[in-house]
Structure 1
Amino acid sequence: MNTYLKQIHPLSWTIIIGTIFGRMATTMSIPFLSIYLIKSLGASPTQTGIVVAVSSLIGVFASFYGGYISDVIGRKKVMLISIFGWSLVFVGFALADRIWIFFLMNALNGLCRAMFEPTSRALLADITPQESKLLIFNLRYAAINVGAVVGPILGLQMGVANSNGVFYIAGLVYFCYGAVLVVQFLLNKEIGAANKELGNRITLTGALKVTGKDRVFIFVLIGMIFCVFGYGHFGSTLGQFMEMNPRIEDGVKWFSYMLTMNALVVLIVQFPVVKIASRFSPVTPLIVGSAFISCSLLVFGIFESIVAFMLSVVLFTIGEVLMFTMTDVLVDRIAKPELRGTYFGMFGFNNLGNVMAPLLGGFLLDVIGVQSALLIFAIIAGCSACGIPFLLLAHRRLKQG
Structure 2
Amino acid sequence: MKTWKDIHPISWTIIIGTIFGRMATSMSIPFLAIYLTAVQGASASYAGLVIAASSSVGIIASFYGGFISDKFGRKNMMLVSIFGWMLVFAGFAAASHLWVFFVVNALNGLCKSLFEPASKALLSDMTEEKTRLLVFNLRYAAINIGVVFGPVLGLYFGSSQSTTPFLVPAVIYGMYGVILAIQFKKHPPATLKQSRNMNVREAFMVTQKDRLFTVALIGITLSIFGYSQFSSTFPQYMAQDPFIEDGTKLYGFMLTLNAIVVLATQFPIVYLGKRFSPLCSLMLGNIMISASMMILTMSHGVSSLVIIVVAFTVGEVLLFCMMDLFVDQIAKPGLKGTYFGAIGFSQFGNVIGPWAGGLCIDIFGAGHPSSIFSVLSGITLLGLPFLAFAYRRMKAGITEQQPGLGKPL
Same fold, judged at TM 0.5 (above): yes
Structure-2 separation of matches of 1:255 and 1:159: 21
Q: CA RMSD in A?
A: 2.5
- Structure 2 vs 1, CA of residues 88 and 287 (structure 1 numbering), >3 Å: closer, same or farther? same
Deviation at 1:151, TM superposition (A): 1.8
Does structure 2 conserve the Cα–Cα contact (< 8 Å) formed by 1:48 and 1:362?
no
Does structure 2 conserve the Cα–Cα contact (< 8 Å) formed by 1:49 and 1:236?
no
Amino acid of the structure 1 residue aligned with 2:263: L
* Mapping for residues 197-276 of structure 1, pairs under 5 Å: 198-200=195-197, 202-243=198-239, 253-276=249-272
Deviation at 1:84, TM superposition (A): 1.3
- Structure 2 vs 1, CA of residues 32 and 288 (structure 1 numbering), >3 Å: closer, same or farther? farther
* Mapping for residues 276-315 of structure 1, pairs under 5 Å: 276-300=272-296, 302-315=298-311
After superposing the two structures, state which structure 1 stretch, 167-176 or 5-14, moved more: 167-176
Greater RCO, CA 8 A, separation 6+: 1
- Structure 2 vs 1, CA of residues 147 and 325 (structure 1 numbering), >3 Å: closer, same or farther? same
Structure-1 separation of matches of 2:251 and 2:156: 13
Does structure 2 conserve the Cα–Cα contact (< 8 Å) formed by 1:301 and 1:378?
yes
After superposing the two structures, state which structure 1 stretch, 119-128 or 213-222, moved more: 213-222
Amino acid of the structure 1 residue aligned with 2:287: A
Structure-1 separation of matches of 2:230 and 2:91: 25
Structure-1 separation of matches of 2:98 and 2:247: 23
Structure-2 separation of matches of 1:168 and 1:247: 41
The reply on whether 1:385 has 2:381 as its aligned counterpart is yes
Does structure 1 conserve the Cα–Cα contact (< 8 Å) formed by 2:192 and 2:334?
no
Does structure 2 conserve the Cα–Cα contact (< 8 Å) formed by 1:226 and 1:384?
yes
Q: Secondary structure at the match of 1:370?
A: coil
Does structure 2 conserve the Cα–Cα contact (< 8 Å) formed by 1:49 and 1:358?
no
- Structure 2 vs 1, CA of residues 260 and 55 (structure 1 numbering), >3 Å: closer, same or farther? same
- Structure 2 vs 1, CA of residues 93 and 133 (structure 1 numbering), >3 Å: closer, same or farther? same
Deviation at 1:385, TM superposition (A): 1.6
- Structure 2 vs 1, CA of residues 73 and 61 (structure 1 numbering), >3 Å: closer, same or farther? same
Q: Deviations over 1:101-136 (max 9, x none)?
A: 433332222111111011100000001011111111
Structure-1 separation of matches of 2:173 and 2:266: 26
Q: Deviations over 1:336-384 (max 9, x none)?
A: 1111111111111111111112333344445554344443333222222
* Mapping for residues 11-50 of structure 1, pairs under 5 Å: 11-37=10-36, 39-40=38-39, 46-50=45-49
Which residue does 1:94 correspond to in 2? 93
Structure-2 separation of matches of 1:362 and 1:178: 38
Does structure 2 conserve the Cα–Cα contact (< 8 Å) formed by 1:75 and 1:194?
no
* Mapping for residues 60-75 of structure 1, pairs under 5 Å: 60-75=59-74
Q: 1:322 aligns with which of 293, 318, 322?
A: 318
- Structure 2 vs 1, CA of residues 103 and 302 (structure 1 numbering), >3 Å: closer, same or farther? farther
The reply on whether 1:394 has 2:390 as its aligned counterpart is yes
* Mapping for residues 152-171 of structure 1, pairs under 5 Å: 152-171=151-170
Which residue does 2:401 correspond to in 1? none
Structure-2 separation of matches of 1:397 and 1:27: 39
The reply on whether 1:106 has 2:102 as its aligned counterpart is no
After superposing the two structures, state which structure 1 stretch, 35-44 or 120-129, moved more: 35-44
Deviation at 1:163, TM superposition (A): 4.2
Q: Deviations over 1:34-80 (max 9, x none)?
A: 44455555656554443333322211111100000001111111111
Amino acid of the structure 2 residue aligned with 1:380: L
- Structure 2 vs 1, CA of residues 157 and 252 (structure 1 numbering), >3 Å: closer, same or farther? farther
- Structure 2 vs 1, CA of residues 48 and 137 (structure 1 numbering), >3 Å: closer, same or farther? same
- Structure 2 vs 1, CA of residues 239 and 168 (structure 1 numbering), >3 Å: closer, same or farther? farther
Q: Percent identity?
A: 50
Q: Secondary structure at the match of 1:8?
A: coil
Deviation at 1:278, TM superposition (A): 1.1
Structure-2 separation of matches of 1:145 and 1:121: 17
Structure-2 separation of matches of 1:86 and 1:23: 12
Does structure 2 conserve the Cα–Cα contact (< 8 Å) formed by 1:152 and 1:256?
no
- Structure 2 vs 1, CA of residues 84 and 370 (structure 1 numbering), >3 Å: closer, same or farther? farther
Aligned pairs, how many?
397
Structure-2 separation of matches of 1:43 and 1:156: 21
TM-score, normalization: structure 2? Answer: 0.88
Does structure 2 conserve the Cα–Cα contact (< 8 Å) formed by 1:83 and 1:116?
yes
The reply on whether 1:57 has 2:56 as its aligned counterpart is yes
Amino acid of the structure 2 residue aligned with 1:66: G
What runs of 5+ residues in structure 1 fail to find an aligned partner? none
- Structure 2 vs 1, CA of residues 221 and 72 (structure 1 numbering), >3 Å: closer, same or farther? same
Which residue does 1:81 correspond to in 2? 80
Structure-2 separation of matches of 1:240 and 1:161: 19
